[in-house]
Structure 1
Amino acid sequence: MDKHTQLPARLYDIRKRVEGFAREYGLDFFDTIFEVLGFDEINMVAAYGGFPNRYPHWRFGMEYERLSKGYEYGLSKIYEMVINNDPSYAYLLESNMDVDQKLVMAHVFGHVDFFKNNFMFRHTNRKMMDAMANHATRVRRYQDKLGVEMVEDFIDRTLSLENLIDYQSPYVKRRPDRAAADAEAEDARQVAKGFETEREYMRTYINPPAFLEAQQRRLDEEAARKKKFPERPERDVLLFLLENAPLERWEHDVLSIIREEAYYFAPQGQTKIMNEGWATYWHSKIMTEKALDASEIIDYADHHSGTLATHPGQLNPYKLGVELWRDVEDRWNKGRFGKEYDDCDSFEERRRWDKKLGLGRQKIFEVRKHCNDVTFIDEFLSLEFCLDQKLFTFGYNEKHQRWEIMEREFKKVKEKLLHMLTNFGQPLIAVEDGNFENRGELYLVHKHDGVDLKLDYARDTLRNVQSLWRRPVNLHSKVEGRGMLFRYDGKEHTDRRAEL
């Protein structure tokens, strides 16, 4: 039986046409299952992050209320939702016009092509629909056994720590192989030699086996005390807690669920601009060149312009993404790259530059495969693009008591944008020592990048980490240029001056 026949015949025909257009353009995507939902159902699914089943927690209900009120008051409307899965699942709003359904389907096929081919998603679980249902079953089992409040309180604390993972660990090798590490440790091991003697036949009398064994034990114990724990800073704080914190079995399982889901969702945040821009590029291409009927043009233009609208104080990933994709395609079509172009000093000549290479389509497919938002912006955000899009940074002027444009300089704008995207603009925290000052305390270090921590957030985070570690937790950071050590021992917060 064809799994897509659940769609009404009218939508099924639209789906087949739009899918055909997408494949004609070269998009390569997983099989995609569309489901039609009413606004109340789609809000429920959206509150669960696009999944029909998640573990029970109050934040999903809060999100549902927010989405429902936004729809009822006409403030927001969910047009499309798609899940990185194989097969992929996407949702259509029942009340949408046919032109909107076409737009959504074209947009979805762009997303699924990106999910399937971008390197950031290669490590993700392609059967996450099943995994989420499994997570929900496990958490409900613990709630039935231990009580809702105990389990929900633990989830509250772990959710506040879900960003303390190593976002790059799926793509780089942080830890050496266990066998290689053991061999290296064995090579570096000090061997007990006992007392020296010039007469070889006296060696076993001066250094009997029992004496050498006792001396070797002392050397091994001394080396164990000096050995760092962990041996190198551990960016994945949740993994360190899973491996070393004295958690109960159910706590360990729930924390592993939170960590697994955090790693699943991370690539979507790391490619938000690229992904939304890619889907928008292809829905606009498919709609304007293939799928639109004459009677639908005005409605499409109205809704498409709403998607790309830029609001004060907000970065629209759809707008920035699609414009940058179009710019990359245009530059490679016209040959605006390479040493000759970069060495050209004439702004007017660069504007008129056109070698008619026609490499744009090939280039954007290559970029789609190999980049994330940081590398995409770093590599392709050019001075000309910045000027054309009128990009700037803004901030609050204390003197004038108002928000103002701070910088239009290309370098400053690009640095600000990259800073926002690196690690999602969140602080970089690593476990430096699991036996701080030989007292079994946890020592965390904040890699200061010029932005101080929010101290109320930092103290709440320390409290939640301490509840898992069961021993005092320390955090080293800088405040106004001075090194500070924050400590929470389970009862009170303290801080003192301390330099690294």
Structure 2
Amino acid sequence: KIYEMVINNDPCYAYLLYANSTVDQKLVMAHVYAHCDFFKNNVYFAHTNRKMLDEMGNHRTRIMKYVYRYGQDMVDDFIDACLSIDTLIDCHAAAIKRVRDKTETSLNGIEKVVKKLHSTRPYMDRFINPPDFLKEQAEKLEDEKVQERHFPESPERDVMGFLTEHAQLEKWQRDILSLLREEAYYFLPQGQTKILNEGWAVYFHSKIMTTRALKDSEVIDYADHHSGTVAPYPGRLSPYKLGYELFKDSQDRWNKGRFGKEYDECENLVEKAKWDKRLGLGLKKIFEVRKLCSDITFIDEFLTPEFCRDQKLFTFAYNQSADQYEIASREFKKVKEKLLFQLTNFGHPIISVVDGNYKNRGELLLKHEHDGVDLREDYSKETLKSLYKIWGRPVNIETILEGVPKVLCFDGEEHKEFRP
């Protein structure tokens, strides 16, 4: 068996399974070298901590300190609650500043609207309105403004970040939630580039193995294991297969010039089939893709009707009358829409915090951006329980179930459901 583990770090670390054969070890090394190249050069990994192994070692030390102080069960229970919501982060946070920096509000700006006590003699003003008094009044005014503002002012996608800042937690709990959120953002690009990253690794392990590393006696074993890597998964999409084939197709298109206005507007199918401008831009193009794309942009820009037809891609749906899954469509538009839908937010529901003081009772209100797929009842109940453990007050979520707007609630004792 081939077990591969590679860590995005500087330097990158990869591990080999001792029991693997020599050809498997070569294959794994070639594969992870491409992963390392991807980690280093793809823009979605640019914000990640390149010393994360050291950082995770520090995280372990801090957590073990809490284990010794508060007990294994208490710490494990809280960590489980935090890990169950580690997908409730803002996948665009690294590129978009969504909230106003707190330092932008200055005390001087507030003092302009602070009402001073009336003084008939100017020289008495500094005694009647001393700086400490003005500062106190400014702080009261700011507190009033905060209370008047919606909390948060706009929907907050980073639920973990919101809880870190506003949940009534003990110091050790806030620290654990903060470090687990940090790790969630570290792993975020892995989910955003799964197809791209694995396709890149397969593309280059095949090139390295077939041109550099293989002995004649190893070809059959390599071919067997490589074919297993890129084989389609029954009932689900293989990121290895799709990424690898799409990289090869993109390279071929840019080598032959099968892109641009002239090619797209050509209506002669025979001419398009023979199209070859001999541009030789394929390798340059796939390196550009490796640098700039995520799975969504890769699929959106480079998936073509010809590729879908050649790879026999289709959508499927459950036929209740036949009690089985069947092919629903081979239409390119529907296949592409389905792929992009599955990749958006990694297929997880999009959930935001909309009110941290719901009903003026300190309850938490979340909102599910319904996209045609209802929340799973078992998942939603367990997630609400975890959120309650962290927030400490009843937790609610607005959603749509079977076409009807609903609010799901957990108050610490029982689950409730009501109309908004």
**TM > 0.5 fold call:** yes
**How many residue pairs were aligned?**
408
User: 1:442-481 alignment to 2 at 5 Å?
Assistant: 442-481=364-403
Contact 2:367 2:399 in 1 (8 A): yes
SS of aligned partner of 1:340:
helix
SS of aligned partner of 2:16:
strand
Letter in 2 for 1:478: I
Residues 353-383 of structure 1, C-alpha deviation per residue, up to 9 Å, x if partnerless? 1111100011111110000111111110111
Q: Which residue of 1 aligns with 2:9?
A: 85
User: 1:227-266 alignment to 2 at 5 Å?
Assistant: 227-266=149-188
Separation of aligned partners in 2, 1:252 and 1:178: 20
CA change 1:90–1:225 in 2 (3 A) is closer
SS of aligned partner of 2:160:
helix
Contact 1:310 1:319 in 2 (8 A): yes
Q: Does 1:159 align with 2:83?
A: yes
Residues 361-417 of structure 1, C-alpha deviation per residue, up to 9 Å, x if partnerless? 111111100001111111101111000100011122111001111111111111111
Residues 439-476 of structure 1, C-alpha deviation per residue, up to 9 Å, x if partnerless? 21111111111111112211221121112111121111
User: 1:73-472 alignment to 2 at 5 Å?
Assistant: 77-180=1-104, 182=105, 186=109, 223-472=145-394
Contact 1:271 1:372 in 2 (8 A): yes
Contact 1:192 1:216 in 2 (8 A): no
Letter in 2 for 1:401: D
TM-score, normalised to structure 1, is 0.77
**Structure 2 stretches lacking a partner, 5+ long:** 121-127
Residues 17-69 of structure 1, C-alpha deviation per residue, up to 9 Å, x if partnerless? xxxxxxxxxxxxxxxxxxxxxxxxxxxxxxxxxxxxxxxxxxxxxxxxxxxxx
Contact 1:79 1:93 in 2 (8 A): yes
CA change 1:363–1:184 in 2 (3 A) is farther
Letter in 2 for 1:177: D
SS of aligned partner of 1:235:
coil
SS of aligned partner of 1:353:
coil
Separation of aligned partners in 1, 2:169 and 2:108: 29
* Structure with higher RCO (Cα < 8 A, 6+ apart): 2
Contact 2:365 2:397 in 1 (8 A): yes
CA change 1:344–1:159 in 2 (3 A) is same
CA change 1:215–1:160 in 2 (3 A) is closer
CA change 1:177–1:398 in 2 (3 A) is same
Separation of aligned partners in 2, 1:364 and 1:81: 24
Separation of aligned partners in 1, 2:358 and 2:106: 27
CA change 1:168–1:184 in 2 (3 A) is farther
Residues 259-304 of structure 1, C-alpha deviation per residue, up to 9 Å, x if partnerless? 1111111111111110110011001111112222222211111111
TM-score, normalised to structure 2, is 0.91
Question: What displacement does 1:160 show?
Answer: 0.8
Percent identity over the alignment is 59
Question: What displacement does 1:185 show?
Answer: 11
1:492 to 401, 414, 417: 414
Letter in 2 for 1:82: V
Contact 2:107 2:138 in 1 (8 A): no
Contact 2:364 2:395 in 1 (8 A): yes
Question: What displacement does 1:495 show?
Answer: 1.6
SS of aligned partner of 2:221:
helix
Residues 231-275 of structure 1, C-alpha deviation per residue, up to 9 Å, x if partnerless? 221111111111111111111111122211111111111111101
SS of aligned partner of 1:113:
helix
Contact 1:278 1:321 in 2 (8 A): yes
Larger displacement relative to structure 2 (424-433 or 87-96): 87-96
Separation of aligned partners in 2, 1:259 and 1:269: 15
Separation of aligned partners in 2, 1:126 and 1:185: 40
Residues 313-349 of structure 1, C-alpha deviation per residue, up to 9 Å, x if partnerless? 0211111111000011011101111111122233333
Separation of aligned partners in 2, 1:218 and 1:158: 34
Separation of aligned partners in 1, 2:2 and 2:326: 32
Contact 1:277 1:321 in 2 (8 A): yes
Q: Which residue of 2 aligns with 1:68?
A: none
Question: What displacement does 1:215 show?
Answer: 11
User: 1:9-48 alignment to 2 at 5 Å?
Assistant: none
Contact 2:303 2:336 in 1 (8 A): yes
CA change 1:218–1:167 in 2 (3 A) is closer
Contact 2:350 2:369 in 1 (8 A): yes
CA change 1:222–1:143 in 2 (3 A) is closer
Larger displacement relative to structure 2 (159-168 or 89-98): 89-98
Contact 1:192 1:219 in 2 (8 A): no
Separation of aligned partners in 1, 2:158 and 2:34: 32
Separation of aligned partners in 2, 1:463 and 1:223: 32
Separation of aligned partners in 2, 1:317 and 1:217: 54
Letter in 1 for 2:90: D
Larger displacement relative to structure 2 (215-224 or 162-171): 215-224
CA change 1:156–1:222 in 2 (3 A) is closer
Contact 2:2 2:28 in 1 (8 A): no
Separation of aligned partners in 2, 1:363 and 1:186: 52
Letter in 1 for 2:295: D
**Structure 1 stretches lacking a partner, 5+ long:** 1-76, 195-200, 202-208
Larger displacement relative to structure 2 (398-407 or 347-356): 347-356
SS of aligned partner of 1:93:
coil
Larger displacement relative to structure 2 (380-389 or 342-351): 342-351
Separation of aligned partners in 2, 1:157 and 1:222: 34
Letter in 1 for 2:303: L
